[in-house]
Structure 1
Amino acid sequence: MIQRGQLTQPTAVLVLIFVLVIALGTALLMLPAARSPGAPETTFLMALFTSTSAVCVTGLVVVDTATHWSPTGHVILMILFQLGGFGMMTAATLLGFLVNRQMRMKSKLLLQTETHALAVGDVKGIAKIVLGMTLLVELLMAICLALRFWWGHEMSFAQALWYGVFHSVSAFNSAGFALWSDGLTGFVGDPWILSPVMLASFIGGLGFPVLHELMRRRRRATLSLHVVLTLWGTTFLYVLGAIVFFMAERHRPETLGVLSGGDAGMAALFTSVAARSSGFNVIDLGQLSQFSMTLHYALMFIGGGSASTAGGVKVTTFFVLLLVVWNEIRGNQDVEFRRRRIAESAQRQALTLLVLSSASVALGVMLLLPLSDLPYHLVLYEVISAFANVGSSTGITANLPAGGQFLLVVLMFIGRVGVVTLAVALAMNHTRRPYRYPEEKPIVG
């Protein structure tokens, strides 16, 4: 049995590591070499916001990434969001060695929760896949993007290579940082650019436990429930988002109306993928209809797969709760899916994460509204984007007052580190009592 004291210290160390990396990133971004010649001086809040956004792989910005930061600053940013995406997956492994100096059973149990490993013995394997898959996907996507930039967009080889590497790392880690002031809108009709970015975002957003199991497919007769929920849920949300965005925006000149049918379809799919993970944009998100923006709220809040580079409450959390509702409607005593019974502890954890995440977003909106005179729907969009670590923006972030920007910093940090820490605490904080109280059924509804 894991005691409370055994849990508190490791999770506190995990939070402290991210605080230290953000602080280091803030200091580096405040160096004169990190900003472009002629750019305004980088204030502490600018550097803190950008560093937090990078380490928490969010992508929200208060200054123009393309023009404010120098090549040195861009390298610093890339290192920060690489550490943020890769580090969240490997931090628990490092934590186990730091705390216990070896992979003891209690550390493996904690690491299993942190990395969402499917078995205790899978922890080391998942750590290896984190490194191997990160390097492999980023390398392949960087090559594809660099060749396209070089051959199709008249860049020098050196510039094309750098742009390919930067955007590959940004896409895989769901960071959403781009080296153009208007994001990727200049490539809205180029599938050779958008497809690699979407693929990298998709792979990074699945979660390493899913990739681990898929790579070991020959050893398993059937896929685990976690992998099935993640794959089918992710596919369903991508397709649903693309169809709805296309139908809602196809004839609106502010968004997809000016594009051909094929380009509009690609832009709708890209927007659906980016809404759940990467945060890139190929259209002006501030011009979305209210209907599309409402869908964007939901996609951002749900996010990607567990133990992935994406944020949100996670696909499995959302679909586990849907299964709870469906089985309750059908009158089933257990929550069942594909001839498997979902543990009651997983149901409670999913509900707790949803309630606390919803409360965080609601509190963020209530605190941010008095600080600005912006419409409610824009404030809600920005708060969800920050908390879910998506990075999509309607363009209001830079215009928020200092208090509002600092609030988004807190939301980005809580959304990235706090939810993971909470998930660890919920999964590990199980105590067995030798007794149970009498049962009562309060009236519900």
Structure 2
Amino acid sequence: MNKSKIHLDPPKVLVLGFLTVILIGAVLLTLPIATEDQKGLSFLNALFTSTSATCVTGLVVVDTGDTFSLFGELVILILIQIGGLGFMTFATLIFLLLGKKISLKERLVLKEAFNNLSLAGVVQLVRRLFIFTALFEIAGGLILGIRFSFDMPIGKAFYYGFFHAISNFNNAGFDLMGEFRSLTPYVEDPIVVLTVCSLITIGGLGFIVLNELFDYRKTHRLSVHTKIVLMTTLILTTGSTILIFIFEFGNPKTLGPLSEIGKVLGSLYQAVTPRTAGSNTLPIGDLTHSTLFLITFLMFIGGGSGSTAGGIKITTFAVLLATVWSQIKGKEDVVLFKRRIVTETILKSMTVAVSGMSIVIVITMMLSITERQGLDFMYYLFEAASAFGTVGLSMGLTPELSSIGRILIVFTMFAGRLGPLTVAFAIAKRRNPDAFRHPKGNIMIG
């Protein structure tokens, strides 16, 4: 007698895998040993923190440094590492160490996790991923540890250094500074600012891009995907740094009191962190509305596909801009770097963008109903965009969220990390080809 097997396609495996990791993390954070007061967190707060760590967001309802014990902090750090690189990546590493052959199904899940275009070289990519991650996190941890050793005992300094290196390379934004300060004490420190900005940017490029850059000395070629990611990252970072410098130059609560170098460093950090790290060197609640709106826009875009970052991804943004420009110019094809973008990619980009926008709009409206009234509307929009982009920046609303608000943000962080399409495909029925096609219909647009 044949036993029926439950078929789980790659998107379902990813969703269920992340859910499992989140629930295990939540249970661990409720244990008395996880907090300084030996009481543990309530399950809802533990679920919120575990989701934020696994989805590498950084939004917190309790301050990480003040609330958690060493055990709790290490649980969060492990969740960040698993969430940033993907649980399937860790499982693959274990299989490789044990000499187990990676099956076709497992390769398909890895392909989905990395948002890769083909199965070719996906296992080799996993091996290099761990090498890249170890190198950058160790280098960042050592640099930050040496710098922090001037401000605290050396053991604590290196622990802080590696915690913040891992957190920021994985675009998580968790910090141990206490009192919800994040890295504001180091706003004018070039070592901390440039090191953390580098970790955030590298982690947000995507491992496919890093792999191509590593091979460039042999191949002397880059794919159109890598070119788009690098060019768009440079434009967004440079443009945003200049705009934030202009918007905040005279603000007495942010850049105003800083030196000229401090103003540049502060502007750069706030331009980089929405992509999507979540730590900050300027007080978010004191930024001007123009800066807050710009950051909201950057958080929605996010980082590169297949990276530790969230958002709709910069490749999606670039394809949408190129599509609009082609329509305005009356061109039949959408072209980037002398390569024609296929219709399927354009439609997928539109779907991702509209799905993401819909989530942010709905969550913003619901937060405006469920949360404290009388706040500026930007509070709700900023919170929703930060959760969807898995950024972790907050104007101060997160610790005051109601139980319903916390559940809404948990859902938003989860959807933002896995991507609206992955979540939708995971819960939808298997798509079948249409038996027939309807006749064309003409619709007036604009």
CA RMSD of aligned residues (A): 2.6
Counterpart code for 2:358: A
Q: Residues 304 and 312 of structure 1 are in contact (CA less than 8 Å); yes or no, is this contact kept in structure 2?
A: yes
Q: Determine the structure 2 residue equivalent to 1:23.
A: 23
Residue 114 of structure 1 corresponds to which residue in structure 2? 113
Once residues 424 and 232 of structure 2 are traced to their aligned partners in structure 1, the CA distance between those partners, rounded to angstroms, is: 20
Contact 2:364 2:380 in 1 (8 A): yes
Unaligned runs of 5+ in 2: none
Question: Does the 8 Å contact 1:89/1:130 carry over to 2?
Answer: no
In structure 2, which of residues 153, 156, 179 is the aligned counterpart of residue 156 of structure 1? 153
The structure with the greater share of residues assigned to helix is: 1
Where 2:304 maps in the other structure, the secondary structure is coil
User: Which secondary structure state, in structure 1, belongs to the residue aligned with residue 158 of structure 2?
Assistant: helix
CA distance in 1, matches of 2:439, 2:234: 43
Could you tell me which amino acid in structure 1 is paired with residue 159 of structure 2? W
Over residues 118-177 of structure 1, what are the superposed CA-to-partner deviations in whole Å (9 max), with x where a residue is unaligned? Answer: 542121121112211111110010011111111x32x22211111111001001011101
- Give 1:251 shift: 0.5
The match for 2:348 is 349
Alignment pair present for 1:376 and 2:388:
no
- Pair 1:11-2:8 in alignment: no
SS at match of 2:62: coil
Structure 2 equivalent of residue 413 of structure 1: 414
The residue number in structure 2 matching 1:201 is 200
Q: 1:115 to 1:424 in 2, by over 3 A?
A: farther
Q: Secondary structure at the match of 2:274?
A: helix
Give, in angstroms, the shift of residue 366 of structure 1: 1.4
Cα shift at 1:73: 1.3
Aligned-partner Cα distance in 2 for 1:178–1:440: 54
C-alpha distance 51-400 of structure 1, shift in aligned 2 (>3 A): same
Between the aligned partners of 2:103 and 2:442, the Cα distance in structure 1 is: 42
**Deviates most, 80-89 or 257-266:** 80-89
Structure 1 residue identity aligned to 2:444? I
Q: Aligned residue for 1:185? A: 184
- How much has 1:106 moved relative to structure 2? 6.3
User: How much does 1:410 deviate?
Assistant: 1.0
Deviation, structure 1 residue 27: 1.1
- C-alpha distance in 2, partners of 1:237/1:66? 32
Q: Which residue of 2 aligns with 1:298?
A: 297
Cα pair 1:85 1:173 within 8 Å, conserved: yes
2:329 matched residue in structure 1: 330
Report which stretch shifted further, 116-125 or 407-416: 116-125
Check 1:89–1:188 CA distance in 2 against 1; reply closer, same or farther (3 A cut). farther
Q: Which residue of 1 aligns with 2:168?
A: 171
Any idea what SS the aligned residue of 1:25 has? helix
How many pairs does the alignment contain? 434
Matched, 1:359 2:351: no
Contact 2:88 2:110 in 1 (8 A): no
CA deviation after TM superposition for structure 1 residue 197, in Å? 0.8
2:394 alignment partner in structure 1: 393
1:311–1:252 CA distance, 2 compared to 1 (3 A): same
- Opposite residue 139 of structure 1, the aligned amino acid is I
CA distance in 1, matches of 2:318, 2:95: 31
The TM-score, its normalising length taken from structure 1, stands at 0.91
Correspondence for 1:257: 256
Within 2, Cα distance between the matches of 1:408 and 1:396? 11
User: What's the counterpart of residue 79 of structure 1?
Assistant: 78
Task: Check conservation: 1:14, 1:92, Cα contact below 8 A.
Answer: no
Deviation of the 1:91 alpha carbon: 6.7
* Contact map agreement 2:53 2:76 (CA 8 A) in 1: yes
8 Å Cα contact 1:174-1:279 kept in structure 2:
yes
Q: Matches of 1:213 and 1:34 in 2, distance apart?
A: 41
Contact 1:349 1:423 in 2 (8 A): no
Q: Give the whole-Å Cα distance in 1 for the aligned partners of 2:91 and 2:70.
A: 32
Check the 8 A contact 2:183/2:279 in 1, yes or no: yes
C-alpha contact 2:334 2:340 (8 A) present in aligned 1: yes
Cα distance change, pair 348–112 in 1 and its aligned pair in 2 (3 A): same
Shift of 1:424: 7.2
Q: Does the CA contact (< 8 Å) of 1:89 and 1:115 recur in 2? A: no
Matched AA of 2:169: F
Residues 1:376 and 1:92: Cα distance change in structure 2 (over 3 Å): farther
- Partners of 1:246 and 1:265 within 8 A in 2: yes
Partner of 2:236: 237
